[in-house]
A and B are shown apart, each in its own frame.
Chain A
Amino acid sequence: EVHLVESGGGLVQPGGSLRLSCAASGFTFSNYWMTWVRQAPGKGLEWVATINQDGSDKYYVDSVKGRFTISRDNAKNSLYLQMNSLRAEDTAVYYCARSNTGYYYWGQGTLVTVSS
């Protein structure tokens, strides 16, 4: 059974950093593109970043370019999102999702709150 479990969320001050992790199991992690999607409180879904199978291709939404870095460790079946220079508008639940034809598998999400 496929499982995606996010961790690393929490409260951080504006300008601070946080690293999110997504532990994958139940499938061959290295065969799939992976994605981060976020949802601000009471708002809609926003695609954040996607990475290909070997980490050589990465795509970001404009609002996080230069601040966030998506990466993966296929040996550890793990996806990461390094978030620097955090802003209040980055406050959201962050989901990891397995990318194929759409996003069938999602984690439960981890809440990131940026506030002083």
Chain B
Amino acid sequence: EIVLTQSPGTLSLSPGERATLSCRASQSVSSSYLAWYQQKPGQAPRLLIYGASSRATGIPDRFSGSGSGTDFTLTISRLEPEDFAMYYCQQYGSSPRTFGQGTKVEIK
């Protein structure tokens, strides 16, 4: 099983600032099958990034993903008020398809 560890647990930032979220895998994620999701309270998750770096349809270009192998990063270039939420990484290249424990981006 691939264990995904996200850091930090909580990120306290102000609107307009840059957010950098990390996701580290316990073993290599095959073919960069790594996705990032945003989730707000009471809502289903929203796919942001797939294939480690491809933006999903309708996702603003302030969201970007990078990385390969065991180290992946989600960057939000300039935080908008609607970006304060929970973020999860997930690998879907092998079974079980595991999620990270999440990073909360909160308003400072």
Is B96 close to A, CB under 8 A?
yes
- List B residues 28-54 near A (Cβ within 8 Å): 35, 37, 39, 44-47, 49-51, 54
What are the residues of chain A within 8 A of B35 when measuring CB–CB? 101-103
* A45-B90, A47-B90 known; A102+B102 contact, CB < 8 A: no
What are the residues of chain A within 8 A of B50 when measuring CB–CB? 101-102, 104
* A45-B37, A45-B90, A101-B51 known; A106+B97 contact, CB < 8 A: no
CA distance A104 to B59 in the complex (A): 11
What are the residues of chain B within 8 A of A37 when measuring CB–CB? 45
In this complex, how many residues of chain B approach chain A with their Cβ under 8 Å: the count is 26
User: Is the CB–CB distance between B90 and A102 below 8 Å?
Assistant: yes
Q: Which residue of B lies closest to A100 (CB)?
A: B50
Is A1 close to B, CB under 8 A?
no
Report which of B47, B56, B96 forms a contact with A62, defined as CB distance below 8 A.
B96
Q: Which residue of A lies closest to B95 (CB)?
A: A59
CA distance A35 to B96 in the complex (A): 12
Q: A residues engaging B (CB < 8 A)?
A: 35, 37, 44-47, 50, 59-62, 95, 99, 101-104, 106-109
Q: Could you list 13 further interchain pairs (A-B, Cβ under 8 angstroms) beyond the known A35-B97, A37-B45, A50-B97?
A: A44-B88, A45-B88, A45-B90, A45-B99, A47-B96, A62-B1, A95-B44, A101-B35, A103-B35, A103-B37, A104-B47, A107-B44, A108-B44
